[in-house]
Chain A
Amino acid sequence: MTLDASSLKVVQATGNRLRRTDRSKGASIALHATLIVASVIAVFPVFWVFITSLKPDARAVEPTPKLFNESSWDNYTRVLSGEKGDFIAWFGNSVVIALMTTVIGVFISATAGYAASRFRFPGKRGLMMSFLLVQMFPFAVLIVPLYNILIALGLNGTSLGLVLVYCTTAVPFCTYMLKGYFDTVPSDIDEAGRVDGLSPFGVFWRLIMPLAKPGLAVTSFYAFLTAWGEVAFASAFLSAADESKTLAVGLQVFVQQNRTEWGHLAAASILVAIPAIVVFYLVQRFLVQGLASGAVKG
């Protein structure tokens, strides 16, 4: 998988093509109509969860859904007050685990991606191929061997163990993406840094990392989301004590065997989605640029 370097200029180059061409009124309406319909489809499920989160459980399953039906913030107060389980503790655990995954995952992906982008070394090809291979195996069925290894390392039931497992899912994609991104940073910069007496690590840390912000933003987003919403590993590897659960695991208390507390579940879901959406909002302006020069060149 070689990456051809379409340089950072790419994004500016479009400027001249984006001038408003003489588009007819009809075409303009059709364009906006399509985009509006698509946006509504994209946003509606989230909006509907929000609407549901304001209703009492019994009103959430009425045969004729209304926008507002005895709506109030009650579900939120009850979820946050910990009536159904230690929501605040779950939240804290999720934040810690997701942030650790992001920091560790992005850092080791960045070093590996930089090495793969700049240096030719024996085993590089094999390394990149093995990343692709890693994506192909259904991870879920590795839970037993992974569990054994975490016990052997003394990490079972700890956040760090879970973080490392998440890193293995996030790192291959992040490495590819960052390698692609580093390829677009001219290597003259590295050479100039070396001439000025920086070590290869110094070049990487002081020169390249600051230049790779869009790529880092996208990979951070990806790593964060990988850890934030994961259920299977979290329920298998964390101890069953209520205060050590993550959000994704904890929320299962709202889904009992026979009935689902839709109102509460919806309120909790909105609370879980907010941090993800905040992270997304912070990085979204980098997304196109970062993905363009990174991942998509694989």
Chain B
Amino acid sequence: MRRFLDRYWYAYAMVLPVVVVIAVLVLYPLAQGVFFTFTNINEGNIANPILDRPATYDVVGFKNYLNVLSGGESFGAFWSTLVRTLIWTFSCVFLHYTIGLGLAMLLNRQVRGRALYRVMLILPWAVPAFISAFAWKYMFNAQYGIINQLLRSVGLPDPVWLGQSNWALVSVIIVNVWLGVPFMMVALLGGLQSIPGDLYEAAEMDGATPWQRFRHVTLPGLRSVSSTVVLLGIIWTFNMFPVIYLIAGPNPNARILVTYAFERFFSGASRDYAIASTYGVLILSVLLVFATIYRRALRKQGEVW
């Protein structure tokens, strides 16, 4: 034990603050959240330290899970919401990645005004999300929004973007793509810069076409960068709540799992913490399964991760 501490104490001392913060403010609430999923806790029966009221909720076993997983409309239509969440996640991450990669490749060349382009292109990242949400909500307005003005002036149909139709989902995807491209672009630009130039020269020497150079030099060179940012991107997008909540509100056409959890949590006659937590645990499970598969797929390709 003595030797163990002698060897590692400074490592542990340096890790300790993070571990304490995470344990107290994440793991413990997480454990409590998981416990809530087996109860019928809501605002009416939770312990209230301010009113000095004791907790009166009961343990109900797996009832919440049964209710949610049966996919009933009154519990947020879990399965169709899951499908919508997947559509949302994959279209967002796909567009983030492809647009981000395209712009990163353009910025990785010698272009006049490169620094200026870069600053402008990263700007959406710097603006607080609730302000971007407000800006887009204003621009998407069916009547006086600039987007529909523009569409009308060129004679295109002007949809009610944030109404009760799938346009609502399209709108929030557009906003989230706008928000998320800068991160991908910057990360991939960093990745591109770490690919040695000799590789391109050698490929050119061997007569590789630009497409072949992209396919066989650029993409493999970006592999480790990509695998990480795509995983992070999927996790973040899956749980991206402010964009949808602030732009579309509780619109069922733009509802994903996490916004529904939040809806249950904050609105309704009695705030239903139990169902909200059940959704939280289900989201966590979906992501865990996904991350495991993802890792296994990467390992099969010989990626050490």
Contacts and interface: CB of A to CB of B under 8 A. Distances in A.
- Give the interface size class of chain A: 35 or more
Chain A interface mostly: helix
A240 interface: no
Residue with the greatest number of chain A CB neighbours at <10 A, chosen from B126, B235, B265, B284: B126
Interface in B88-127: 102-103, 106-112, 117-127
Contact of B305 (A1, A109, A111, A201): A1
Chain B interface mostly: helix
B280 A248 contact: no
A136 B258 CA distance: 11
A142 B30 contact: yes
B276 A63 contact: no
A281 B193 CA distance: 21
Contact of A296 (B47, B225, B273): B225
A280 B122 contact: yes
B236 A135 contact: yes
Interface string B2-33: 00000010111111011101101111111011
A284 B122 contact: yes
A45 B139 CA distance: 8
A42 interface: yes
A229 B131 contact: yes
B235 A135 contact: yes
B196 interface: yes
Given A132-B291, A289-B190, 6 more contacts: A49-B135, A108-B18, A138-B239, A168-B25, A287-B186, A288-B118
Interface of A: 1-2, 4, 6, 10-11, 13-14, 16-21, 31-32, 34-35, 38-39, 41-43, 45-46, 48-49, 52, 60-65, 107-109, 111-112, 114-116, 118-119, 121-122, 127, 130-146, 148-149, 151, 153, 164-165, 167-168, 171-173, 175, 199-201, 204, 225, 228-229, 231-232, 248, 251, 262, 265-266, 269, 272-273, 276-277, 279-281, 284, 287-289, 291-293, 295-298
